[in-house]
Chain A
Amino acid sequence: MSTDPSAQPLLHATAGAATGSPGPSGRDAGASIWRVAVRRLRRNPGAILGGVIVLVFVLVALLAPVLAAYGPEALPGRAEIRPTYIPGPSSEYPLGLDRYGGDLLSKLIWGARASLLIGVLSTLLGLLGGALLGLVAGAFGGWVDSATMRLVDLMLSVPSLLLAVSIAAVIGQSSTAVIIAIGVVQVPIFARLLRGTMLAQRGQDYVLAARSLGLSRRTVTMSHVLPNSLGPVIVQATLMLATAVIEAAALSFLGLGGGSPTTPEWGRMLTAAQNELEVAARLALLPGACIAVTALGFTLFGEALREALDPKTRKR
């Protein structure tokens, strides 16, 4: 190799055109696909709406002790509840009271915290478990792949809610059980997704090039195949968060969430409100709206993220 390459008459008359097509705009220079994705998200109204909803939800959940006027289990309006009458919105209780005399607004705020905790923890559980299975299947292939995928098929063949109910039944009624149940249900979804994208990436030329460089199989898998397969998995995780919030509500609705009737949790509040639909419909409508809006927020954000990360639409 020459020590002073610039001295070589390497540039042909036309080599100046090596920079051929017009370069990308200056802002793009050196931006990773994640930074490009963030900029694309900012231009997408759906993404902004979803992002704002998610942000508000997370802030409310984190700041619940500050925002809520009363504690999670407090029943400040206990004395005002009558069997046929539940006080509506007032200056003291902006959204009125619930059946047990709790402040509905405070309960909803604390409920966000419970939902976020369940959603994030269960999705994390599903993501880690699924990614591990998918990684094993995608990296080793052969009979390991077949065995792992049959296990995953087995998990998929049980209806998700039934599986969650069974797990909750075995572990007992507690929020931990709900988290584990929802997480386990997500495992096969993440496993299949990661394995699929890894298999697709493994056939790519850059992976062959990496193998030709003499990199070990582990290095090729961990530093080329896996990072390039994570995009869809991360998108799926944001979408699964929405599902997890809904499933947590469903499990609480079925009475599997543990805790007492006064524990603030959106799904449980919906269940409890069944009996008071005629007396105070807002007790069902407001938690229901919270679940729907949160799920919508995560879904919008996830879909936008999917679009922003799609390599087919990536700027050249």
Chain B
Amino acid sequence: MTSEEQQQEGTQDGQQEAKPQAPLATLAATQRPNQEFKKTLTDTLDKLFPNSPFTIDETTTDVNVHCPPEHLSWLVTTLKERKELAFDYLRNVSGVDYEEGLTCVYHFYSFKHGHTVQLTVKCPPDNVHIPSLTGLYATASWHEREAAEMFGFVFDGHPNLKNLLLEEDLDIHPLLKAHPLQKPEILQGIEDGTPGFDF
């Protein structure tokens, strides 16, 4: 990088920075869902997939797309490949145990546009199979292993779906709401005790 470029970048940064006299931006004002992006996403999805099964709403921080598991691969590929979306970074995969059924939540980020999106994949009650994203994002591997061991998801196409954080042969899914909070000794049968305690 030449010194000129450095100077240019320096001035650009200087312009971006707000003046200290301006009122303080609190967290409520930042990290909000991007309405412009929501419109782009809605348009793109409508164009590519008429009568799409996706519903788009908002969380406190992100644009949220509800997606059935069977359309996940298509949707993520679209999100990654389309130039106006260009989601090249999988931030996070988290499982959630809602009463309605197990849900897998993905967060994506686009380095090109600075957009974020959240995908909520709700599994039907009797089927916890979700296509794996390891082919698209290398970082999905460990995230999916973690979600699989904690909630019992089965990520189809994952090369190595072993336990990651728990013991290798432990076949429990501790983050399910049905799983009581208890000492591991009770779980292993070493100690007696009433399962579950509250703070």
A binds B: no
Chain B residues proximal to chain A, CB less than 8 Å: none
